[in-house]
Amino acid sequence: MTAARKPQDPAKFARYRERMKARGLKEVRMWVQDPDAPGFRERLAADIARINASPAEREFLKVLEAAAAEIPGWTWDEDLPA
């Protein structure tokens, strides 16, 4: 059994938002893919296969790795899939 939730005061949230805005922040809401949705894993696998098969992706990874190699202390984790 869940405990009854106490109703929230809308003015409290308005004050909070105003404080955050005063700090120079902006509220952002996003909708993202639901990994539990039917077909999500199949679409993800198809997208990954398409990316992995792309010559442009391989070229981009070479450029990215070259740029990252110039960062002091950066090393490639050999345990990650190539």
Residue 26, phi then psi, degrees to nearest 5:
-130, 135
pTM: 0.48
Residue bearing tokens 């090393």: 75
d(CA 19, CA 26): 11
Give yes or no for residue 69 having a pLDDT over 80: yes
Total residues found in the chain within this entry:
82
Give yes or no for residue 80 having a pLDDT over 70: no
Q: What is the pLDDT of residue 25?
A: 96
